[in-house]
Amino acid sequence: MNATPDLSTNLGGLAAKLPQRLKTVEKLCLKLVVRVLVLVVLIIVTVYLVRAFDSRRRPDLMPWHQVSLDSEFRARDDRPDMTFSEYQRIEDRLFSQLKTEVYRKVEPTDDLALSRYDPGGFNDPMGFPQNWNRSYELIPGKIRGGVLLLHGLTDSPYSLRKVGEIFESQGFYVLGLRLPGHGTAPGSLTAVTWQDWMAATRLGARHVHDQVGQRGPFYLVGYSNGGGLAVKYAIQAINAADLPQPERLILFSPAIGVTRFASLASWHKAVSWMGYFKKFKWDSIGPEYDPYKYNSFPKHAADQTHLLTESIHKDINAIKRANRISQLPPILTFQSLVDTTVLTDAIVDRLYGNLQGNEHELVLFDINRAAQVRIFLASDHRSLLLKLETKVNLPYTLTLITNASEDSLEVVERRKTPGSTVAASVSLGLHWPAGVYSLSHVAIPFSPDDWIYGDERVERTGYGIRLGAIQPRGERNLLRVSVQQLMRLRHNPFFDYIEKRLIDELSAISGVDGAGPNRQKR
């Protein structure tokens, strides 16, 4: 009996039904995808609303959180012929408004005894010998060069004071510029934009260049967010003939890339415009006991830094495509291997990985790799170092400040020059201090003898509480301030190395032996 006709008939029937079955499967898959997407959206909305409602449990907003200082400099105020004197007059009006809108509205209480906004209090920077929240100049007896200092986000010009003094000792005119939104009240950072920071940077660069003229080089120094601004400015100067091009960039913990969470910082705007959720604008709300740095942090500020870093990334790619990356000035960067504020990987990949020429250098401060410390560390953070140490043709000098061995707290410099496969090791005569397991983002530009952030050996008076010497001990959940915040290293135990590196370079340019000439302060 021949079964072939029956088989053909069955196959034909299946073939006829196949398109219909495929459509059914397609509909089921589409429904599944839609349901998954709806579920994801519901989860995101739920988490968002939970965080929004949870923000209402944060501390009350104070006058310095809610103030809007309309005297602040904005990008729209900038003109090619605008002078630094005009900028200072804007600052005069701004700090006068700060007194009116914040200081005069504060009722002194025990809770505010150490607040920077307690008029005439212990930590009131207005009562210090000099208020380093404002822009300042250091003027040597004979100008041999000039430098513009750009501080970090939530910081003030104070953060690069020590670096400025090193430059001044080598005959450099120094401008420590206060960037818009800083040095006054944290609420000022809820409205400022990165374009405002860039406009101020351009004004400062023009002023420094005018002070120096043909007498010497123009340097640009940036810390954290200021480091990102310095790179952005150097790229802008390549494309703008009216902007003075710096001969050198020196960066401390530069913001070239920030965490992905920063890209979500603007999401709060969907509900934070309502008074009920006004605290949702803030990533943190803390007591303002630091005279030169905000402890409260608005999400808008994080968003602006994220936008700045994305703009830098696009600019680097643009000048690379145009074969102009080699026109960037030599860059020297000091960076902690472990940094929870900016991404060390981004500095390596986005910036240094694109550079050309042999004059650039990246100095990484390693974690403490002594055996007695390593057991407490969650990670050894070796992957980035291995990638860099094994790469043959780095287009820059890689310098690692690390333990001489796992059995030693002694610190050495391991320096790998472009084209070299071996790092030369040199003892620095430095050691890891007891109890310190790594540097931090905020520690890099501060010396151990810093008036505010130095260690217990500091004896400088008249500048408030020595925050760097605080070592809280006690029971959990008792402090109003995060223990992690108080225990974060605030100064660099290896700052002597940075100082020597700067002096060696600047003295070669200025022809000074490192002794500081008489200067004026303004």
Using one digit for the tens of pLDDT, what is the confidence trace for 493-505?
999 999 999 999 8
What sign has the CA pseudo-torsion 177, 266, 61, 192? positive
Based on the domain organization, do 370 and 468 belong to the same domain?
Answer: no
Instruction: Compute the mean pLDDT over every residue in the chain, rounded to the nearest whole number.
Output: 88
Q: What is the mean pLDDT of residues 388-396?
A: 85
* Per-residue pLDDT at 491 exceeds 70: yes
The DSSP string of 12-76 is HHHHHHHHHHHHHHHHHHHHHHHHHHHHHHHHHHHHHHHHHHHGGGSPPPPHHHH---TTS--GG
Q: What is the mean pLDDT of residues 9-30?
A: 70
Contacts of residue 125, defined as CB under 8 A and 6 or more positions apart, other chains included, come to: 116, 131, 132, 133, 291, 292, 464
Angle of helix 194-212 versus helix 84-101 axis, rounded to 10: 140
CA distance 72 to 318: 32
Ranked by mean pLDDT, the top range of 180-184, 215-219, 382-386, 406-410 is 180-184
Based on the domain organization, do 414 and 475 belong to the same domain?
Answer: no
* Per-residue pLDDT at 140 exceeds 50: yes
Residue 199 in domain:
yes
Query: What letter does residue 77 receive in the DSSP assignment?
Result: G
Based on the domain organization, do 487 and 339 belong to the same domain?
Answer: no
Based on the domain organization, do 129 and 267 belong to the same domain?
Answer: yes
Q: 57: how many CB neighbours lie within 10 A of its CB?
A: 7
* Per-residue pLDDT at 317 exceeds 80: yes
Residue 128 in domain:
yes
Q: What is the mean pLDDT of residues 158-173?
A: 96
The CATH number covering residue 180 comes to 3.40.50.1820
Low-confidence winner among 91-95, 191-195, 286-290 (lowest mean pLDDT): 286-290
Residue 309 in domain:
yes
Based on the domain organization, do 454 and 352 belong to the same domain?
Answer: no
Residue 295 in domain:
yes
Which alpha helices (DSSP H) does 359-458 contain, by range? 371-374, 383-390
pLDDT class for 520, splitting at 50, 70, 90?
A: very low
Q: What is the mean pLDDT of residues 490-494?
A: 94
- pLDDT for position 262: 67
* Per-residue pLDDT at 2 exceeds 70: no
* Per-residue pLDDT at 329 exceeds 70: yes
CA distance 517 to 170: 8
- pLDDT for position 515: 46
Contacts of residue 80, defined as CB under 8 A and 6 or more positions apart, other chains included, come to: 206, 242
- pLDDT for position 49: 73
Residue 288 in domain:
yes
Tally helices (H) and strands (E) across the chain: 13, 13
Based on the domain organization, do 487 and 349 belong to the same domain?
Answer: no
Please state, for a pLDDT cut of 90, what percent of the chain lies above it: 58
Query: Can you tell me which residue has the tokens 């002194």?
Result: 108
Based on the domain organization, do 475 and 359 belong to the same domain?
Answer: no
Based on the domain organization, do 249 and 183 belong to the same domain?
Answer: yes
Residue 18 in domain:
no
Residue 157 in domain:
yes
For residue 141, what are the CA distances in angstroms to 156, 207, 475?
Answer: 26, 18, 54
* Per-residue pLDDT at 98 exceeds 80: yes
* Per-residue pLDDT at 199 exceeds 90: yes
327 with 240: CB under 8 angstroms? no
pLDDT class for 519, splitting at 50, 70, 90?
A: very low
- pLDDT for position 11: 56
Based on the domain organization, do 351 and 481 belong to the same domain?
Answer: no
- pLDDT for position 438: 93
- pLDDT for position 480: 73
pLDDT class for 514, splitting at 50, 70, 90?
A: very low
pLDDT class for 443, splitting at 50, 70, 90?
A: very high
User: Could you give the angle at the alpha carbon of 148 between the alpha carbons of 145 and 154, nearest 5°?
Assistant: 160
Query: Can you tell me which residue has the tokens 């949702």?
Result: 280
| Chain length of the chain | 522
Based on the domain organization, do 336 and 362 belong to the same domain?
Answer: yes
Which has the closest alpha carbon to 148: 465, 140, 138?
138
Based on the domain organization, do 506 and 455 belong to the same domain?
Answer: no
The DSSP string of 149-203 is EE--TT--GGGGHHHHHHHHHTTEEEEEEPPTT-SS-GGGGGT--HHHHHHHHHH
Based on the domain organization, do 473 and 500 belong to the same domain?
Answer: no
- pLDDT for position 517: 40
Token pair, residue 35, equals 């349901």
- The 10s digit of each residue's pLDDT in 223-256 is 999 999 999 999 999 989 899 999 999 999 999 9
- Adjacent-strand bridge partners of 332: 250, 361
- Looking at the structure of the chain, the number of domains it has is 2
The DSSP string of 312-356 is HHHHHHHHHHTT-GGGSPPEEEEEESS-SSB-HHHIIIIIGGG--
Buried b (16+ CB within 10 A) or exposed e, 445-482: bbbbbbbbbbbeebeeeebbebbbeeeeeeeeeeeeee
What sign has the CA pseudo-torsion 201, 203, 208, 214? positive
499 with 169: CB under 8 angstroms? no
Residue 23 in domain:
no
The range of the structural domain enclosing residue 379 comes to 53-435+493-513
Query: What letter does residue 478 receive in the DSSP assignment?
Result: -
Token pair, residue 276, equals 């009920």
